[in-house]
Structure 1
């Protein structure tokens, strides 16, 4: 049974009132501005300082509250029982009023919308699932509002328009200090978030101390952290991510942990720009070339054994062809230097370079790729290449430009 018992004295003493459903005005129960302690069973309750669920609020998790503190003692005027399902929370944020402009779906806690280039841009929202707490400042601070499944806010008005900076869903383990600020984001909450996504989820909220080093399975994953040394907010990815801004983590990562297979991280969305190859392991810093610069991720799922690439002398796979199955530091030794204009990757993943000994500008290409025309930037310039192997990793690579097809 879900219930909230309010007491008019500290330590559960004095007159009390029990509530099992929403109460828009405690004055109707002769208990307005009376409570000084509380006991909660079952679901969360939200208590407001004004009637009709307005004013400041505090969220009561199940438990005992010997005092409500100076911010809420003798100040509660309405109560709302949280009956919404808290699993799979989702809210859609909109750039303009009336749900127009850029839309950003959010399914988990976000400490700074600026990381997804959506900070101070929100003017309306719709709650699809769960209960959400929205804040005007980063890290769940500043003025806040609470919104429930089915709520549609077409216009934030002057007080909130273009001011939303952080938000979080209410989860089963959530609790607050009596000043209304969130308690430590406890470990059980991380478990709840993960369970709410299901085992097939590719994104899970973590903190550095919750990383599991268990690599006994075959699952590949990368966890990115917004601080060096695996600290700060983090996100875990189990599948390709073409645009980290959609997960509110673009240009944010400063350290990483990788399990399973390699991961290729790019500085631009859609697997473009400069790239770095992460082998399985820990990266306490991404270095000056890649800190705060990653925008997309591709997990390497290709089989790396028996790599093979066919290099063609002319565009559209014409002219002389060379089959390559291993690292080549200088194609000139095979009289094929600066002659390649197209290629097909039969197996594996290959890194191609414009200069000898795997230096100069480079591109990366995957099994099944067919490049019919290198165009002016790369035509007749390929000089060295290597297959990606299980032991390959990069530490502090120099900036390299990834050539895209058609360039």
Structure 2
């Protein structure tokens, strides 16, 4: 489960959550720290799993900068369930609709450009596992949660642009 706190350092009003919640606004008005007791979670800036995404694994986050928060708004959350086993694999494409050059990958990638020579990823197919995409290299910038499925366009994983600087496997559940 995850506990949200309105203030830094686990202070202020708090709310303990053990399952997906599409609208957290009635439990707290802002979120500046969190404690993930178990599982991996995706936090969303807006209700109904919209807006900025933040992927948290078990641990303590004394302020929202530790999860690269753009603001103190957390309005919905989803538990990431391990229905994937211990295999991770995805296919990245340099064009929309699975066009252009394709690269299959099964490991974390701190720099998409250095490893794959792609500047942008326009479509993706996740065949195994759950993944976190980051807008910038070294797991920085906006985050996106991808699970098994087809993503013909970058907007299908809620990205405004096709910039993918790095990605990693979600391995802690």
Q: Same fold by TM-score, threshold 0.5 exceeded?
A: yes
Alignment deviations for residues 128-179 of structure 1 (CA, whole Å, 9 cap, x no partner): 22221223333333444221223x2111259423x33322212229xxxxxx
Question: Which residue of 1 is the match for residue 54 of structure 2?
Answer: 58
- 1:113 equivalent in alignment to 2:112: yes
Change (3 A) 1:19 1:124: same
CA shift in 2, pair 1:128/1:32, >3 Å: farther
CA distance in 2, matches of 1:13, 1:88: 38
Q: Secondary structure at the match of 1:98?
A: helix
Aligned pairs, number:
167
Question: Are the structure 2 counterparts of residues 101 and 171 from structure 1 closer, same or farther at C-alpha, using a change threshold of 3 Å?
Answer: same
Which one scores higher on RCO, CA 8 angstroms, separation ≥ 6? 2
Deviations 1:220-269 (A, max 9, x none): xxxxxxxxxxxxxxxxxxxxxxxxxxxxxxxxxxxxxxxxxxxxxxxxxx
- Deviation of residue 121 (structure 1)? 4.7
1:20 aligned partner: 18
2:39 corresponds in structure 1 to 43
11 and 120 in structure 1: CA distance in 2 versus 1, 3 angstrom threshold = closer
C-alpha RMSD of matched pairs (Å): 2.8
| C-alpha contact (below 8 Å) 2:55/2:143 kept by paired residues | no
- For 1:6-405, what aligned pairs fall within 5 Å after superposition? 6-27=4-25, 30-69=26-65, 71=69, 74-84=72-82, 85=84, 87-150=86-149, 152-156=150-154, 159-161=160-162, 163-172=163-172
Cα offset for 1:13?
Answer: 4.1
The C-alpha deviation readout for 1:31-51, integer Å capped at 9, x for no partner, is 253333322222111212122
State how far apart, in whole Å, the 2-side matches of 1:50 and 1:103 are.
Answer: 33
C-alpha separation between the residues in 2 aligned to 1:43 and 1:148? 15
Render the CA deviation track for 1:260-295: whole Å, top value 9, x for unaligned.
xxxxxxxxxxxxxxxxxxxxxxxxxxxxxxxxxxxx
- Deviation of 1:104 after TM superposition, in Å, equals 1.2
Q: 1:82 to 1:53 in 2, by over 3 A?
A: same
| TM-score, with structure 2 as normaliser | 0.77
Contact conserved, 2:129 with 2:170, CA < 8 A, in 1?
yes
